Structure 1
Amino acid sequence: MRVVGLMSGTSYDAVDAAAADLTLDEDGTLRLVPLGMVSAPYEDTLRAALAAALPPAPTTLGDVCRLDTRIGQAFAALAVRADRELCAGRAELMASHGQTVFHWADAGRVHGTLQIGSPAWIAEATGRPVVSDFRPRDVAAGGQGAPLVSLVDLMLLRGRPGVPAALNIGGIANLTVLPATGPPLAFDTGPGNALLDAAVRELTAGRLDHDADGALAAAGRVHPPLLRRLLDEPYYRLPAPKTTGKELFHPGHLRAALAPHPGLAPQDVLATLTRLTARTVADALRPLRATEVIASGGGTRNPALMAALREELPPGTALLTSDALGLPAAAKEAYAFAVLGFLTVHGLPGNAPDCTGARGPRVLGSLTPGRRPLTLPPAPTRPPGVLVIGDRSAGDGRCVSAAAASAASYRPAAGG
C-alpha cells in the first residue's frame, strides 16, 4: 500500500509529507520503502495566528475553528503535492497527525489531547481516505497518547545489539528504549528545540525564528547558574511514562528562568539552552544504560546540539542518525505516521502499551472516506514485529534490515 504520512510538530513551522510503499509479510515483517519527502512552511499569517492561540495565551472557539480549517487546508495542499511528486498520483491512503495545540496533562496523567487540521480538507483535495486523530484513543485507554512513534521505534530497534534507543528531537524531545531485559520504555525527556526557538525569537525581537546550524550557541558559553535553574523543573524527575509540551515549555517558562540573570549575552543563553536539551536527554538515558542512540528530527541538523549531546552521553555510547538505518532523520515522524495509518486501515493496533501506559493495544485514529466507496483491506494474520527499510534506489525491491544497518557514530554534514 502506498501511504502519505503528514506531520507538523511542536515547532509549528511547517508541514512535512513523506510517502512510503508498505508491505506486511505473513511472518510479521513490515517492509517500508521510502519514496521521498516534501515540506511546506506555514504562511506567516497562519503561523502567527497559531502562535497567538497556543497556551498559555487565551483564545476563542472561533479562533480554534478558523485554525482547524486553515491548517487542514495547508495539510491538504501538501498532500496533493506529495501524491503528485512522490507517488505519481497513485497514493492509496493519507495519514495525518495534524497539529497539536493542547496536551492536557496533570500530575503525570493525560486527560485529553487536541490535534487540529480537519481531515475533510485532505480527503476532498486528494480524493483519498484519511486516517487522523491518532492520539485520543490511547488517552481514552489510560495512556499518555505519546510518544506514538514508539511502536515504530520498537520495530526499528528490534534485533540491534546492546540496549538501543531512538531519540527524536523536535520541539519536544522523546525517547524509546529497548532494554536488554524487561519491557520497553518511551517518554518525553523535555524540550528539544522549543526553548531554543523561543529564545531566538525573543532575543532577536522576532527577526530570527531559530538558531541556524547552532551558530549562535556555538559562539556562546554555558552559564551554570541559569542551567541549574532550568534543571530545577520538576518534570525532569517524574517517572515514565510521561509526556509534556509547550503547555509547560513556552516563552513564559524561559522568561521566568532568565529573570534572575539579566544581561546575559544571547549566545550564552542559547549555549545554555542547548546544553539543557543535551543534559536532560543524557540524564534520562543514563539509568537505562543505553549503548547506542539513533537520533532523528530537526534537532539533528543542529551541530552544536549534536556535539553537546555527544559530550553528555556516557562514554562509549554510539550516536548516529536514523539515516544510517535507511530512514531519513528529517522525515522519520512523517514516515512513522504513514505506518500508523497503514496499521489502522488493516485493523491493527498502533500503540505500544508498555510505552504509553495504555491498558492494552488499541487501533488508533478516525477514518474519513475519500471519493470512492470505502473498502478496507483484509486483516493480516499477525501484527508486524520488525520494520525493514527498503532501498528504493536498488530497483529490485531489496530491503536492508535495520538490525544489520551501520552503527557508525554520527558525523554532522557540512553546513549542518
Structure 2
Amino acid sequence: MRVIGLMSGTSHDAIDAAAADLVLDGDTLILVPLGLVSDLYPEALRGALRAALPPSATTLKEVCALDTRIGQAFAALAVRADRELCGERADLVASHGQTVYHWAENGRVHGSLQLGQPAWIAEATGVPVVSDLRSRDIAAGGQGAPLVSLVDTLWLNGRPGVCAALNLGGIANLTAVPKGGAPLAFDTGPGNALIDAAAAELTDGRLGYDADGAMAARGTVHPGLLDRLLTEPYYARPAPKTTGKELFHPAYLRAALAEAGSVAPDDVLATVTELTARTVADAARSVHATEVIASGGGLRNPVLMAALGRALAGIALRTSDELGLPAAGKEAYAFAVLGYLTAHGLAGTAPSCTGAHHPSVLGSLTPGHRPLRLPEPGRGAPSRLEIFRR
C-alpha cells in the first residue's frame, strides 16, 4: 500500500508530506521511504494560527476558518506528494492535522484538537483520508500522545540495552524501548518551543526561531534563569505524561524572565537551549537509556545538538538517518504507518506508552472519489518495522 503521511508539529511553521510503500511480511512491516516534500504555511495563515493559540482568546468563526484553510494547505501538499513521490498512485493519506489545543489537567488528557478538515484532502487527491488519530486513544483512557511511540517500538524492538527515540519538535518526546521489556513514552518538555518564543520575543518578531543557534552561540547560560525554569512541576511528574504550548508559551517565558531580572537576549537563548538539552537528558537517564536516536527540526540547531551531546555524556546520541529513517520526515512517515494500520483494522497504540486501557484502532476515515474498499484484515499485528532504502 502506498501511503502519504501529513504532519505539522507544535512549531506550526510548515507541513511535511512523506510517502511510503508499506507491506506486511509475516510479523514484519516493511517501509520503503519514497521521499519527503515540505511547504511553509502562508504567512497570513501562520499568523492567524499563532494568534488563535493558547493563552490567546479566539472565536468559533476563527476556528472554523482555520480548519478550512489548514485543510486546504494540507490538501495542496498531499496533491504535490502524490504527483512527485507516488506517481499519482497513492492509496491512502494519513493526516495528523495541526494541533491547536491539548486538554491536559492533573495528569489526565480529556481531549486534543487537531485542525485541517480532511474533506479538502480527500476532494483534492481523490483517495481516502485517515484523520483525527488521537481521539480514540484518549477515549480509551490514554494521553493521545506520543502517538509515534508504537512506530518507535516496532522500529527499535530488539536493539541492545535501552534504546530511546527522541523527537525534537516544538515539544520534545521520548520513547524508551528496553530489550525484552515494556516500552514507555512521554513528552519531556519544550523542544524548540521556548527557543522559538525567546527568539521572537527578543527580536520584536523579526526572527521566528534561532537559525543555526546563532543567538545561543553568542550567549552564556544564565544560572538563575535556568534554575527558575527547571522548577517547572511538569518535569517531576511520572510517565506517561504529555504537554504542549498550552504550558510552554511566550507568556510562560516572560513570567520566568520577570523573576530572573535583567538577562541579555543572547544569554536567554543560550539558557532555554540548555533547558531543552538538560530536560531531555534527564528524561533519558530516568528510563536508563543506553542510546538516543534523535529526529525532528531541533537537529538543524547545532548549538542545541552540542548541548544535548554534553548533557547525555555516557549515552550514545545518533540520528534516525543512521538507522534508515529520514530525520526530517520521521513523524510524517510514522503517521503513514499509523494510517496503514488503521486501514487494515490494526491497533496503532501501545498502552504502556500512552496509558490507555487497551490498544485502539485509530482515527476517522473520509472516503475518496472511488468506492471505499478497505484491505482484507491482516494475519495479525506486526511486531517489527524494517526500513528498506531503495
Q: TM-score, normalised by structure 1?
A: 0.93
Q: CA deviation at 1:262?
A: 3.6
More off after superposition, 172-181 vs 376-385: 172-181
C-alpha distance in 1, partners of 2:313/2:194?
24
Aligned to 1:118: 117
Aligned to 2:216: 217
CA contact (8 A) 1:150 1:351 kept: yes
C-alpha distance in 1, partners of 2:117/2:242?
24
Task: Structure 1: give runs of 5+ residues left out of the alignment.
Answer: 393-416
CA contact (8 A) 2:222 2:271 kept: yes
Structure 2 residue 297 is the aligned partner of structure 1 residue 287: no
Question: Structure 2: which amino acid aligns with 1:341?
Answer: G
CA contact (8 A) 1:295 1:321 kept: yes
CA contact (8 A) 2:157 2:179 kept: no
CA RMSD, 1 decimal: 0.8
Aligned to 1:103: 102
Q: CA deviation at 1:260?
A: 2.3
Aligned to 1:320: 318
Aligned to 1:244: 243
CA contact (8 A) 1:19 1:338 kept: yes
Counterparts of 1:308-347 in structure 2, within 5 Å, are 308-315=307-314, 317-347=315-345
Aligned to 2:64: 65
- With over 3 angstroms needed to count, the CA separation of the structure-2 counterparts of 1:385 and 1:181, relative to structure 1, is closer
Question: Structure 1: which amino acid aligns with 2:72?
Answer: Q
CA contact (8 A) 2:131 2:364 kept: yes
C-alpha distance in 1, partners of 2:89/2:81?
10
Aligned to 2:6: 6
CA contact (8 A) 2:187 2:242 kept: yes
Task: Structure 2: give runs of 5+ residues left out of the alignment.
Answer: none
Q: CA deviation at 1:286?
A: 1.1
Say which SS state the counterpart of residue 277 (structure 1) adopts: helix
Q: What do residues 391-413 of structure 1 show as CA deviations (whole Å, max 9, x unaligned)?
A: 12xxxxxxxxxxxxxxxxxxxxx
Q: What do residues 130-160 of structure 1 show as CA deviations (whole Å, max 9, x unaligned)?
A: 0000000000000000000000000111121
C-alpha distance in 1, partners of 2:372/2:308?
47
CA contact (8 A) 1:142 1:359 kept: yes
CA contact (8 A) 1:10 1:245 kept: yes
Question: Structure 1: which amino acid aligns with 2:97?
Answer: G
Aligned to 2:188: 189
C-alpha distance in 1, partners of 2:280/2:49?
28
Task: Write out the 4+ residue segments of structure 1 that deviate beyond 3 Å after TM superposition.
Answer: none
C-alpha distance in 2, partners of 1:288/1:344?
30
- With over 3 angstroms needed to count, the CA separation of the structure-2 counterparts of 1:160 and 1:180, relative to structure 1, is closer
Aligned to 2:384: 386
Say which SS state the counterpart of residue 276 (structure 2) adopts: helix
Counterparts of 1:255-294 in structure 2, within 5 Å, are 255-294=254-293
C-alpha distance in 2, partners of 1:287/1:4?
35
C-alpha distance in 2, partners of 1:177/1:22?
24
Q: What do residues 313-358 of structure 1 show as CA deviations (whole Å, max 9, x unaligned)?
A: 142x110000001111010000000000000000000011110000
Q: CA deviation at 1:181?
A: 5.3
CA contact (8 A) 1:286 1:314 kept: no
Question: Structure 2: which amino acid aligns with 1:22?
Answer: L
Q: 360, 363, 380: which is aligned to 2:361?
A: 363
CA contact (8 A) 1:163 1:180 kept: yes
Aligned to 1:374: 372
Q: CA deviation at 1:94?
A: 0.4
Q: CA deviation at 1:261?
A: 2.9
Aligned to 1:404: none
* Number of aligned residue pairs: 390
Q: CA deviation at 1:180?
A: 4.0
C-alpha distance in 2, partners of 1:5/1:278?
28
CA contact (8 A) 1:200 1:211 kept: yes
CA contact (8 A) 2:158 2:180 kept: no
CA contact (8 A) 2:158 2:179 kept: no
Question: Structure 2: which amino acid aligns with 1:65?
Answer: C
CA contact (8 A) 1:165 1:177 kept: yes
Aligned to 1:33: 32
Aligned to 1:397: none
Q: What do residues 279-337 of structure 1 show as CA deviations (whole Å, max 9, x unaligned)?
A: 0011111132211000000001111111111111142x110000001111010000000
